[in-house]
Structure 1
Amino acid sequence: MKIPPFLKKGDTVAIVCTARKFFPEDAKPAIELLESWGLKVKLGKTIGLDSCQLGGTDQERAADFQSQLDDDNIKAIWCARGGYGTVRIIDQLDFTKFVNHPKWVMGFSDVTVLHSHIHTLGVATLHTIMPFTVPKAPEEVKATLKAALFGEKLAYQIPAKSHDIQGKARGILVGGNISILYSLLGSKSSIDTRGKILFIEDLDEYLYHIDRMMYNLKRNGYFDQVKGIIVGSMTDMHDNEIPFGQNEVQIITAIAQSYNIPIVFEFPAGHQRDNRTLILGSLVDFEVNSTNVILRFY
């Protein structure tokens, strides 16, 4: 797995729309954050475009992203926000130059399309806050993005919970938003989880749909050789008038526990304020014991 070059002061980060629209005035907190780290910022041509929900037409968003991929002066691409729309442009993008000269692609939620596709090309990415979420992100969360971008070692330790499943594993970290992972099944952007540590999270889903997605991932072999599962925030889950009968922890546990792998729930990453940066594509040590959960990046 290729790790893109870490940033140094004076490098330029591009902010672009791959999905929902985002405007220059909304980008100010993110610009100020990057500049405080000694970085320069380039706003892509899609920032300020308005095409219904999207930050420009599919052609405009694809062209903007491609421009940043191919620009040698751009050292990282930060997707402005999620929502929906990245899958509409993924097949228009040419990653040939990017694979030979990789750079960091950053974001979460709908950006999982890019994480997954780029992972199949053998390049690491950053699952992290986006310009849209910068204003609500705690300082310690912003610091995790800075550490990842500048090549500082990342390691997280959180208290274990009674419903976590204990164990140790080492492997490449992959994953993202479970709805997106589910939607990519059968496509060339679907990730290979064999021997990997799988991270999943989601927002605003019905419990029965979490169950359906988990079963479909299982039937597609996602868990057959996976070495561990990290479940981030499952935020604002919904139930039907007739209750499903299981919450998200019970749903995932019922399907995944038979694989005898470590599983942690409520890891601080995903659709919540405490959305810590994960280096997808990095080798990690993952341990769940009776006291703590430890995730260490290499």
Structure 2
Amino acid sequence: MRKPDFVKTGDKIAIVSTARKINLKEIKEAIAILETWGLVAILGSTIGKENNQFAGSDRERASDFQNMLDDKEIKGIWCARGGYGTVRIIDKIDFSSILKYPKWIIGYSDVTVLHSHLHTLGICSLHAPMPIDIHKGTEASMVSLKNTVFGEKIRYNIPSSKKNILGNCKGQLIGGNLSILYSLCGSASSLDTSGKILCIEDLDEYLYHIDRMLQNLKRNGYFDNLSGLIVGGMTKMHDNNVSFGKKAKRIILDSVQEYDFPVVFNFPMGHVEDNRALIMGAEAFLQVHKDQVTLEYI
């Protein structure tokens, strides 16, 4: 996997929306944060654009992303928000320039489409808070993004959950939003998970659908040769009037019970306040002990 150069003071970071619409007011605090880091925010044409729920038409969103992708002066593209829409433009984008001059693509949730596709191309990307919500998160999540893009050494130590499956493993970090991973199965953006550490998180889903998505990943071989599983926020889950009978953690454990890899719950990633930056595609070492979980890059 090729890792983009880390940024330095004075570098330009583009802010675009590949999915839902967003206005300038909603990202003013993110722009100010970039400026305090010594970086220059370059706003894409999709900021402030509207096409029903989208930040402009598919053509406009693809064009905005493409322009920033091809601009050699732009050292990173920070996706303004998630929602839905990135999958509608992924096949309209020419990624040849990023193969020559890798740059950081940053975001989470719907941006999982880009993380997955870039992984198939051999380019690392950054699963991290976005302009719409970075100011609402913890100080630790903001610092993790800054330290990661500037190339500081990263090591996460978190308390261990009682439901964790203990063990150590190594592998490239992959994944993101479970619903997006599920939707990409069978496409050119679907992941090869063999020997890797899969990260999943989700928001506002019914418990039976969590089970359905995991069963689909299982049937697609996602767990067959997996090195490890990291579960972030399973936030605001719903149940039907007739209960599914299991919570999200139990659904996940039951889905992977026949496999032999460590599993981590409550990792600070996803639709949670403490959403730490993770380099997708980077080689990592995961240690899951009874009292503590450690994740560091190799």
**For the superposition of Structure 1 and Structure 2, which TM-score range results when normalised by the shorter chain?**
over 0.9
Q: Which residue of 1 aligns with 2:201?
A: 201
Aligned sequence identity (%): 56
Q: Which residue of 2 aligns with 1:220?
A: 220
Distance 1:137 1:100 in 2: 34
1:282 matched to 2:252:
no
Distance 2:247 2:23 in 1: 37
Deviations 1:139-193 (A, max 9, x none): 2211000011000111101111211000000000000000000000000000110
Deviations 1:219-253 (A, max 9, x none): 00000000000000000000000000111111100
Q: Which residue of 2 aligns with 1:186?
A: 186
Q: Which residue of 2 aligns with 1:158?
A: 158
Deviations 1:54-96 (A, max 9, x none): 1000000000000000000100000000000000000000001
Q: Which residue of 2 aligns with 1:130?
A: 130
Q: CA deviation at 1:205?
A: 0.3
Distance 2:139 2:228 in 1: 29
Q: CA deviation at 1:260?
A: 1.2
1:90 matched to 2:90:
yes
Q: CA deviation at 1:135?
A: 2.3
Distance 1:247 1:139 in 2: 29
Q: CA deviation at 1:257?
A: 2.5
Q: How does 1:1-298 map to 2 (within 5 A)?
A: 1-298=1-298
Distance 1:98 1:275 in 2: 26
Please, which runs of 5 or more residues in structure 2 have no aligned partner? none
TM-score by length of structure 1 reads 0.99
Kindly provide the amino acid, as one letter, of the partner of residue 153 in structure 1. Answer: K
Distance 1:239 1:27 in 2: 34
Q: How many residues get paired?
A: 298
Distance 2:49 2:161 in 1: 45
Please, which runs of 5 or more residues in structure 1 have no aligned partner? none
Q: CA deviation at 1:291?
A: 1.1
Q: CA deviation at 1:209?
A: 0.3
Distance 2:99 2:192 in 1: 18
Kindly provide the amino acid, as one letter, of the partner of residue 46 in structure 1. Answer: T
Distance 2:257 2:19 in 1: 35
Distance 1:201 1:257 in 2: 19
Distance 1:253 1:156 in 2: 23
Distance 1:241 1:203 in 2: 19
Q: CA deviation at 1:267?
A: 0.6
TM-score by length of structure 2 reads 0.99
Q: Does 153-162 or 73-82 show the bigger shift?
A: 153-162
Kindly provide the amino acid, as one letter, of the partner of residue 33 in structure 2. Answer: L
Secondary structure of 1:216's match? helix
Kindly provide the amino acid, as one letter, of the partner of residue 169 in structure 1. Answer: C
Kindly provide the amino acid, as one letter, of the partner of residue 97 in structure 2. Answer: K
Distance 1:83 1:37 in 2: 27
Once superposed, what is the RMSD of the aligned Cα atoms? 0.6
